Amino acid sequence: MFEGFGQEAFAWFEGLERDNSREYFTRTRDLFEREVRGAMEAMFDALSVEFEGEIKIFRQHRDLRFSADKRPYKDRTYGVLGGYYAAISSRGLYAGTGYYRVARDQLERYRAAVADDATGPELEAALAGAGLEVSGMSLKTAPRGYPKDHPRIELLRYKWLVVGALLPAGDIPADAALAHVGGTWRAAQPVIAWLNEHVGPTTLEQRGRYGSG
């Protein structure tokens, strides 16, 4: 049964940020498994009653093979349910969805639809209605082939699009956590519907994306 995220969970991440070592993780593993990963799994199980899809909680260990950063552990614990994402860290509980690290053909379709005066305003309206934070890797200038003064230049500069919201760290009861994550995912559905209609899956090599509609 999901009982929420207590102060212990956020304190664990604060400790990890101070001491990202195997010694710290081993010493506090029982707390991590109970208050962090275990609570995250229970939250996703509770949300799966409404939201369909496979649940996957990602491993805490970082892949160090090609990274100059040799810290062994991620500073957040996260998972997906279908195309929806949630993560807990020292900052709080984040929920979001979108298209993440899209392939070249998806990016081309995204920008064409954003630039179009018929479909671009539909995305602006969906984002405004969702009331969520928009994030994603963004160019510093206009993408090639688009004018710098385009009315939707900020959206055109994104290389992928994610929307979400953060519930700040603290004692987060189960009902507050479920309301935040579930509410965020529901609010994002018009944005995902737009992306599914105008961008869709890649026809090239499959890349990761959060949003699946």
Q: What is the pLDDT of residue 128?
A: 98
Q: What is the pLDDT of residue 66?
A: 86
Instruction: Identify the CA nearest to 185 among candidates 78, 98, 55.
Output: 98
Give residue-wise pLDDT tens across range 122-165: 999 999 999 999 999 999 999 999 999 999 999 999 999 999 99
- pTM listed for this prediction: 0.92
Q: What is the pLDDT of residue 206?
A: 60
| Residue 120 clears pLDDT 70, i.e. is over it | yes
Q: If you average pLDDT over residues 163-184, what whole number do you get? A: 98
| Residue 211 clears pLDDT 70, i.e. is over it | no
Q: If you average pLDDT over residues 207-212, what whole number do you get? A: 46
Give residue-wise pLDDT tens across range 52-91: 999 999 999 999 888 888 999 999 999 999 999 999 999 9
CATH number given to 7-198:
3.30.930
Q: Where are the domains of the chain?
A: 7-198
| Residue 16 clears pLDDT 70, i.e. is over it | yes
Concatenated DSSP letters for 74-133?
-SEEEEEETTEEEEEETTEEEEEEEE-S--HHHHHHHHHHHHSTTTHHHHHHHHHHHT-E
> Cα–Cα distance between 30 and 136 in angstroms, integer?
34
